């Protein structure tokens, strides 16, 4: 790993869009609290710009961007906006409390988008670029303009729009590969030519925004940077529309590990990457693929005899970066039922979690309960326990107890006790299999119309006493919510995950109703 001297001209701005492009993809919807938690984490790990949402999209999006703008300490807080006046004004209102706020306005410029999506002529689009950037610039000095579907845009028209956007006051110009169609050489040439052709190109920072439809989002992003762009738009775990966006952890580590070929730097604290991946995966309940670069559970695992032998002789034989650099700690047998509160706090701090007050108390009680049921408690078990505590702290429906009769002689039966807003409810139901019986029980205790869209189980660690981690996605009225829960008993984990998703739907509905009545009061 080379450590070339850092100069300002080689600094790359990391623009994270996990909460906007990432959250926009089907099934990744996050709650208000999850968004605030992720924004604080991104701010703490050194992200330069947090794209916190799309304020005009819904009141919930507006509230989240607004609250993140109030709380963020270091990063620029950015909101996305289409080119219309109402969109831009709403976005400006959302980011107003930020110490540093940005309006990111975009408009399609490719022939196919202009003709079918916008149904506008090129000249109308050009005029709208100027008026939208001018309007945004009247609200703030920090304005980003994106040419949506930039890589399929006719070159001369792209240059005209970029020049006009900069003249109207855009300080960042993003040329997205919206459909993930570009290849690296092509994206490199595009940035080089645009920067050479547009006369005022030196007045703006150029930005890359690459989708992964052909698996080239990271390679394309790096090609754009080599051609002079100095901002990368990316997401944790690469989540995003369709095949996702360039993964933050991958672009950051590519610049760090191959600084000899990619002599650029950024401010990210790489030791937080693994933790960030886990937090986003828990909030969205999108599992991280085992072989995912940098943060996959196999990224530093060496299974074959030849590799293990090489590793024992010298880690450099098969490892191009130290696991600790990205925050991976060797899986260790950490604790058991005799571990005390001090050891527990110490271990959590070592893992990067600083809990206090009720949160700590609650985590310790749940740790003790787990230790009573599971002999060996690993780091992964503790991570699952902490994630669950953060995600479910505000739940209105809580599981009190569950027993299930399963086996070859059906029907299977579940008996469940729930606490619903402080009221105890008990029910016994049958099902076509134990999981079905558990879910029927919940439906009967808390009647709802939500449909089960996803049910997925995997083991947190190895061994027959490993905790099961269950993901459940429920959808209702066009909205889907996913939740994840872990427990040594698969059926308990299933019940908790189902209740987690149901709680998110209930809370979302409650927030929507509160916002509607506040709007009605304001209008009367």
Footprint of ligand KIV on this chain (CB under 6 A)? 21, 106, 146, 148, 174, 176, 178, 209, 211
In the list Zn ion, ligand KIV, none, the entry touching 381 (Cβ below 5 to 8 angstroms by class) is none
* CA triple 198-189-172, angle to 5 deg: 45
| Main-chain dihedrals φ then ψ at residue 11, nearest 5 degrees | -80, 130
Q: How far is the CB of 241 from Zn ion (least distance, A)?
A: 6
How many whole angstroms from its chain centre is CA 22?
Answer: 6
Question: In 3D, which of 390, 474, 358, 219 has the Cα closest to residue 382?
Answer: 390
- Binders of Zn ion among residues 197 to 226 (CB under 5 A) are none
Question: In 3D, which of 236, 323, 257 has the Cα closest to residue 41?
Answer: 236
In the list Zn ion, ligand KIV, none, the entry touching 274 (Cβ below 5 to 8 angstroms by class) is none
Which CB sits closer to Zn ion, 178 or 471?
178
Q: How far is the CB of 148 from ligand KIV (least distance, A)?
A: 4
Q: How far is the CB of 471 from Zn ion (least distance, A)?
A: 25
Which CB sits closer to ligand KIV, 67 or 144?
144
Neighbours of 9 (CB within 10 A): 8
In the list Zn ion, ligand KIV, none, the entry touching 431 (Cβ below 5 to 8 angstroms by class) is none
Q: How far is the CB of 235 from ligand KIV (least distance, A)?
A: 10
Which residues, 6 or more positions from 430, have their beta carbon under 8 angstroms from its beta carbon? 411, 412, 413, 437, 440
Integer Cα distance of 138 and 135 in angstroms:
5
Dihedral class, residue 53 (left if φ above 0, else alpha if ψ from -120 to 50, else beta): left
In the list ligand KIV, Zn ion, none, the entry touching 142 (Cβ below 5 to 8 angstroms by class) is none
Query: 144 near 91, Cβ under 8 Å?
Result: no
Q: How far is the CB of 50 from ligand KIV (least distance, A)?
A: 15
In the list ligand KIV, Zn ion, none, the entry touching 148 (Cβ below 5 to 8 angstroms by class) is ligand KIV
Which CB sits closer to ligand KIV, 86 or 341?
86
In the list ligand KIV, Zn ion, none, the entry touching 108 (Cβ below 5 to 8 angstroms by class) is none
CB-closest chain residue to Zn ion: 21
* CA triple 61-66-70, angle to 5 deg: 150
In the list Zn ion, ligand KIV, none, the entry touching 106 (Cβ below 5 to 8 angstroms by class) is ligand KIV
Question: In 3D, which of 19, 29, 31 has the Cα closest to residue 508?
Answer: 31
Which CB sits closer to ligand KIV, 89 or 144?
144
In the list ligand KIV, Zn ion, none, the entry touching 235 (Cβ below 5 to 8 angstroms by class) is none
Query: 370 near 364, Cβ under 8 Å?
Result: no
Q: How far is the CB of 47 from ligand KIV (least distance, A)?
A: 17
Which CB sits closer to Zn ion, 21 or 61?
21
In the list ligand KIV, Zn ion, none, the entry touching 146 (Cβ below 5 to 8 angstroms by class) is ligand KIV
Which tokens in the block code for residue 81? 């906006």
Which CB sits closer to Zn ion, 21 or 380?
21
Which CB sits closer to ligand KIV, 198 or 246?
246
Which CB sits closer to ligand KIV, 158 or 474?
158
Which CB sits closer to ligand KIV, 250 or 388?
250
Q: How far is the CB of 490 from ligand KIV (least distance, A)?
A: 38
Q: How far is the CB of 146 from ligand KIV (least distance, A)?
A: 4
Q: How far is the CB of 132 from ligand KIV (least distance, A)?
A: 13
Q: How far is the CB of 377 from Zn ion (least distance, A)?
A: 40
Cis peptide bond N-terminal to 411, omega within 30:
yes
Cα(first)–Cα(last) distance of the chain, in Å? 64
Which tokens in the block code for residue 244? 């996702």
Q: How far is the CB of 411 from ligand KIV (least distance, A)?
A: 49
Helix, strand, coil tally for the chain in percent (to 5): 50, 20, 30
Integer Cα distance of 171 and 160 in angstroms:
16
Dihedral class, residue 424 (left if φ above 0, else alpha if ψ from -120 to 50, else beta): beta
Question: In 3D, which of 291, 219, 295 has the Cα closest to residue 251?
Answer: 219
* CA triple 69-74-77, angle to 5 deg: 35
Environment class of residue 456 by beta-carbon count within 10 Å: exposed (0-12), middle (13-18) or buried (19+)?
Answer: middle
Which CB sits closer to ligand KIV, 109 or 490?
109
Length of the chain: 524
In the list ligand KIV, Zn ion, none, the entry touching 256 (Cβ below 5 to 8 angstroms by class) is none
In the list ligand KIV, Zn ion, none, the entry touching 231 (Cβ below 5 to 8 angstroms by class) is none
- Binders of Zn ion among residues 12 to 31 (CB under 5 A) are 21
Question: In 3D, which of 448, 434, 449 has the Cα closest to residue 403?
Answer: 434
In the list ligand KIV, Zn ion, none, the entry touching 388 (Cβ below 5 to 8 angstroms by class) is none
Which CB sits closer to ligand KIV, 21 or 395?
21
Which CB sits closer to Zn ion, 51 or 163?
51
Which tokens in the block code for residue 11? 């600094």
Q: How far is the CB of 144 from ligand KIV (least distance, A)?
A: 9
Binding site for Zn ion (CB under 5 A): 21
């Amino acid at each position: 790993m080379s450590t070339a001297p850092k100069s300002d001209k080689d600094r790359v701005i990391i623009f994270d869009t996990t909460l906007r492009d990432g959250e926009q993809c089907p099934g990744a919807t996050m709650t208000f609290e999850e968004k605030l938690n992720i924004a604080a984490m991104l701010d703490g790990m050194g992200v330069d710009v947090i794209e916190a949402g799309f304020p005009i999209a819904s009141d919930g999006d507006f509230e989240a961007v607004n609250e993140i703008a109030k709380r963020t300490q270091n990063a620029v807080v950015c909101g996305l906006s289409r080119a219309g006046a109402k969109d831009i004004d709403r976005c400006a209102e959302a980011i107003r409390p930020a110490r540093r706020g940005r309006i990111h306005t975009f408009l399609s410029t490719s022939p196919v988008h202009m003709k079918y999506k916008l149904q506008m002529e090129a000249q109308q689009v050009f005029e709208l670029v100027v008026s939208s950037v001018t309007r945004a610039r009247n609200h703030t000095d920090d304005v980003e303009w994106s040419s949506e579907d930039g890589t399929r845009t006719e070159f001369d028209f792209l240059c005209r729009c970029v020049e006009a956007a900069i003249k109207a006051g855009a300080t960042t110009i993003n040329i997205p590969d919206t459909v993930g169609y570009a290849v690296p050489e092509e994206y490199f040439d595009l940035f080089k030519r645009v920067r050479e052709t547009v006369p005022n190109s030196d007045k703006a920072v150029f930005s890359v925004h690459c989708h992964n439809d052909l698996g080239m989002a990271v390679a394309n992003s790096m090609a754009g940077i080599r051609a002079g762009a100095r901002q990368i738009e990316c997401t944790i775990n690469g989540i995003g529309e369709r095949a996702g966006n360039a993964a933050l952890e991958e672009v950051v580590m590519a610049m760090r590990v191959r600084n000899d070929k990619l002599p650029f730097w950024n401010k990210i604290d790489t030791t937080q990457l693994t933790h960030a991946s886990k937090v986003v995966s828990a909030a969205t309940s999108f599992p991280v693929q085992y072989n995912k670069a940098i943060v996959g559970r196999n990224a530093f695992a060496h299974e074959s005899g030849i590799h293990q032998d090489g590793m024992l002789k010298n880690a450099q034989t098969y490892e191009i970066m130290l696991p600790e650099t990205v925050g991976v700690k060797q899986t260790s047998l950490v604790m058991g039922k005799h571990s005390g509160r001090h050891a527990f706090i110490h271990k959590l701090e070592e893992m990067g979690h600083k809990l206090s007050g009720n949160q700590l108390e609650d985590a310790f009680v749940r740790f003790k309960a787990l230790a009573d049921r599971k002999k060996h408690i690993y780091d992964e078990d503790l991570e699952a326990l902490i994630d669950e505590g953060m995600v479910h702290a505000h739940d209105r429906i809580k599981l009190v107890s569950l027993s299930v009769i399963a086996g070859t002689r059906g029907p299977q039966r579940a008996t469940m006790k729930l606490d619903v807003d402080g009221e105890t409810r008990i029910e016994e139901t049958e099902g076509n299999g134990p999981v079905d019986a558990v879910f029927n029980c919940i439906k009967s205790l808390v009647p709802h119309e939500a449909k089960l869209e996803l049910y997925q189980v995997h083991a947190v660690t190895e061994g027959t006493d490993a905790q099961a981690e269950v993901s459940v996605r429920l959808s209702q009225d066009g909205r889907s919510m996913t939740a994840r829960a872990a427990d040594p008993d698969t059926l308990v984990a299933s019940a908790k995950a189902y209740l987690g998703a149901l709680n998110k739907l209930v809370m979302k509905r409650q927030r929507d109703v509160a916002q509607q009545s506040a709007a009605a009061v304001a209008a009367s």
